[in-house]
């Protein structure tokens, strides 16, 4: 067995975990591979954040992809970035451009681009002491450990009434989204009540379009998308003690402020509403009525409004991500899942002795923060501590048997292609 780690997914989680394995757990870089179908790492992060027009992250500056919590602040100091352009209050949240530059610097300095395989994992099967993985282009390869870092970004949530495929209806988080208005001034209906919907409505209004924001509920104002107490041990006690996965799921659902907006975005929205730059309809949509010229949007109260374009900012589907690849893995290896369909894993985020998870797939261990940057960092803590213990034990036993010094570097080999195992 030659390859130590294959990380499935090169998003926020995959990149952070690769950095932790290499720079903290001491796994040689050429024994880590990140498989992701995009041309570049973090592609989904860039496309989803760019479209919203957001200038600052919702999370504070200690939540970034590097190891040391103060790394992003130091980076901004070194680059002599103006504080007012780089951070915003409250909580000194970083600008998106700063976060992206810092992430690019990390990728560059650890050479993570060189371990990125632009490929999709289509099958994954535990095999002897490792895992056989099928890449769509490359075929079967063998690895010791798999880390599933698959987010939900490939599964935008489409309401049942949305005319999927209609050229005037788009989901802003659909991979390859090309639905931003290109015309002079359009009537755009933005659907969704969370931070992204409001940011998109503000961006469109700023570009001079006539915007209607359609939400099913009142605006829910929360600074963060879950209580920051979840980052520490105090708030987590009941969750960690809870053995019933259905109860854990309930706690997560209650703790997540889904479809919420922070106070600064709320203030910007209120200003735009007062200035009549945005019209707000608190309504359920019943149907879209297509016409040659425009779309009719019929509300539950019977009213119909006209729009040149409907942009959905309705987030991501709640179902377990990974589709067929994960379904088959579960069947093949008989992996445990909770009632909600999500993996039942141990504290080290192991679903199987050679398969670990992060992001949404780690919901039931990491809790409400699992999908965020903080969740990637929490997953890193858990995974790296067990990898470090393992390599410490391995070093001691090999030193005892060979009489060599403790920290010999491991032999460097590349991922091993294997014959078909279909
Ligand atoms: C607009 C927006 C703003 C956000 N702002 C913040 C914020 O300020 N702070 C915060 O903490 N969080 C924020 N989040 C939440 C979260 O941090 C992001 O959604 C983040 O991108 C999630 O990263 P991820 O790695 O889990 O998933 P993804 O970004 O979805 O990356 C997973 C990758 O895996 C790939 N993949 C999937 N299946 C396979 C396969 N079979 N083989 C190979 N590759 C595969 C996908 O193509 C994708 O590239 C934000 C989210 C959005 C949408």
29 and 100 in a common domain: yes
The pLDDT of residue 411 is: 32
Q: So what's the pLDDT on residue 347?
A: 96
CA of 162 relative to ligand 1 center, distance in Å? 24
Whether the predicted pLDDT of 410 surpasses 60:
no
The pLDDT score that the predictor gives to residue 394 is: 64
Is the same domain home to 149 and 84?
yes
Q: Please report, for the domain that includes residue 205, its CATH number.
A: 3.50.50.60
Cα dihedral sign for 381, 100, 15, 110? negative
Contacts of 211 (CB under 8 A, 6+ apart): 188, 190, 201, 204, 205, 277, 278, 279
Is residue 188 located within the same domain as residue 142? Answer: no
Q: 3-state class of 175 per DSSP?
A: coil
Share of residues in the chain with pLDDT > 90 (%): 85
Residue 331 belongs to a domain: yes
Q: List, for residues 246-261, the tens digit of each pLDDT value.
A: 999 999 999 999 999 9
Residue from 124, 64, 174 nearest 324 by CA: 124
Q: 3-class SS at 371?
A: coil
What pLDDT was estimated at residue 112? 98
Tell me what the mean pLDDT of segment 26-38 comes to. 97
Average pLDDT (20-35) is 96
186: in domain: yes
Rounded to the nearest whole angstrom, what is the distance from the C-alpha of residue 110 to the centroid of ligand 1? 20
Atom of ligand 1 nearest to the CA of 122: 41
Extract the runs of DSSP E, i.e. beta strands, from 58-151: 87-88, 93-94, 116-118, 121-127, 130-135, 139-143, 145-148
Name the residue of 45, 201, 318 to mutate for ligand 1: max ligand atoms within 8 A of Cβ: 45
Residue 62 pLDDT grade (very low, low, confident, very high; cuts 50, 70, 90): very high
Q: Please write the tens of the pLDDT for every residue from 205-235.
A: 999 999 999 999 999 999 999 998 999 888 9
Statement: residue 100 has pLDDT above 90: yes
Tell which one of 93, 121, 150 to mutate to probe ligand 1, the residue whose CB is within 8 A of the most ligand atoms.
150
Distance from the alpha carbon of residue 11 to the mean position of ligand 1, in angstroms? 5
Q: Closest ligand 1 atom, CA of 45?
A: 21
Distance 410 CA to ligand 1 centre (A): 32
> Residues 347, 207: one domain?
no
* Distance in angstroms (rounded) separating the CA atoms of residues 359 and 351: 13
Domain membership of residue 237 (yes or no) is no
- The residue out of 273, 293, 312 marking a domain boundary is 312
Query: Is 67 a domain residue?
Result: yes
Is 92 in the same domain as 149? yes
Tell me which residue range forms the domain holding 278.
169-222+257-312
SS (H, E, C) 221-275: ECCCCCCHHHHCHHHHHHHHHCCCHHHHHHHHHHHCCCCEECHHHHHHHHHHHHC
What's residue 388's pLDDT? 76
Residue of 7, 10, 12 best suited for mutating to test ligand 1, as the one with most atoms within 8 Å of CB = 12
Preceding peptide of 35 cis, ω within 30°: no
pLDDT for 2: 43
The residue whose CA is least distant from atom 16 of ligand 1 is 372
Same structural domain, 177 and 193: yes
Q: Has residue 100 been placed in a domain? A: yes
Pairing mode, strands 220-221 and 210-215: unpaired
Residue 98 pLDDT greater than 90, yes or no: yes
3-state secondary structure of 317: coil
pTM: 0.93
The three-class DSSP label of residue 31 is helix
Residue 137 lies in a domain: yes
Whether residue 329 sits in one domain with residue 308: no
286 and 399 housed in the same domain:
no
- For the chain, how many structural domains are there in total? 2
Ligand 1: residues with CB < 6 A are: 8-14, 35-38, 43-45, 48-49, 52, 57-59, 63, 120-121, 149-151, 153-154, 196, 325, 359, 371-374
Considering the domain boundaries, does residue 84 fall inside one? yes
State the first-to-last Cα distance of the chain, in angstroms, to the nearest integer.
20
Same domain, 365 and 389: yes
User: Could you tell me which residues are beta bridge partners of residue 343?
Assistant: 337
Same domain, 119 and 12: yes
Secondary-structure percent of the chain, ordered helix, strand, coil, rounded to 5: 35, 20, 40
In-domain check, residue 366:
yes
**Average pLDDT for 264-274:** 97
Instruction: List, for residues 297-321, the tens digit of each pLDDT value.
Output: 999 999 999 999 999 999 999 999 9
The answer on 277 and 190 residing in a single domain is yes
Residue 415 reports pLDDT greater than 80: no
- Domain co-membership, 83 together with 143: yes
């Amino acid at each position: 067995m030659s390859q130590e780690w294959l990380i499935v997914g090169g998003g926020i989680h995959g990149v952070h975990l690769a950095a932790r394995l290499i720079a903290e757990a001491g796994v040689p870089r050429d024994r880590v591979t990140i498989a992701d179908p995009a041309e570049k790492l973090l592609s989904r992060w860039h496309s989803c954040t760019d479209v919203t027009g957001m200038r600052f992250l919702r999370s504070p500056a200690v939540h970034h992809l590097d190891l040391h919590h103060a790394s992003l602040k130091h980076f901004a100091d070194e680059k002599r970035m103006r504080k007012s352009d780089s951070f915003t209050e409250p909580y000194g949240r970083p600008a998106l451009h700063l976060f992206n530059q810092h992430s690019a610097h990390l990728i560059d300095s650890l050479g993570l681009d060189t371990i990125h395989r632009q490929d999709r994992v289509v099958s994954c099967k535990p095999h002897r002491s490792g895992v056989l993985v099928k890449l769509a282009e490359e075929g079967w390869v063998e690895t010791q450990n798999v880390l599933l870092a698959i987010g939900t970004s490939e599964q935008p949530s489409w309401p049942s009434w949305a005319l999927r495929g209609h050229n005037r209806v788009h989901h802003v988080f659909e991979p390859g989204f090309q639905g931003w208005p290109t015309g002079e001034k359009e009537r755009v209906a933005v659907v969704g009540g969370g931070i992204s919907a409001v940011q998109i409505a503000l961006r469109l209004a700023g570009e001079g379009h006539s915007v209607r924001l359609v939400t099913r509920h009142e605006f829910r104002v929360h600074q963060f998308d879950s209580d920051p107490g979840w980052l520490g041990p105090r708030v987590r006690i009941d969750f960690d003690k809870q053995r019933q996965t259905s109860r854990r799921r309930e706690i997560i659902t209650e703790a997540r402020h889904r479809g919420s907006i922070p106070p600064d975005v709320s203030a910007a929205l209120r200003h735009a509403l007062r200035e009549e730059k945005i019209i707000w309809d608190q309504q359920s949509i019943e149907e879209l009525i297509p016409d040659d010229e425009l779309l009719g949007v019929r509300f539950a109260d019977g009213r119909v409004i006209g729009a040149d374009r409907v942009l959905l900012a309705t987030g991501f589907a709640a179902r377990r991500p990974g589709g067929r690849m994960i379904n088959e893995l579960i069947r093949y290896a008989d992996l445990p899942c909770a009632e909600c369909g999500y993996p039942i894993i141990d504290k080290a985020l192991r679903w199987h002795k050679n398969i670990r998870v992060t992001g949404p797939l780690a919901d039931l261990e990491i809790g409400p923060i699992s999908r965020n940057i903080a969740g990637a960092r929490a997953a890193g803590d858990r995974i790296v501590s067990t990898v470090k213990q393992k390599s410490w034990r391995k070093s001691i036993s090999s030193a005892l048997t060979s009489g060599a010094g403790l920290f010999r570097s491991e032999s460097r080999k590349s991922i091993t292609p294997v014959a078909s195992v279909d």
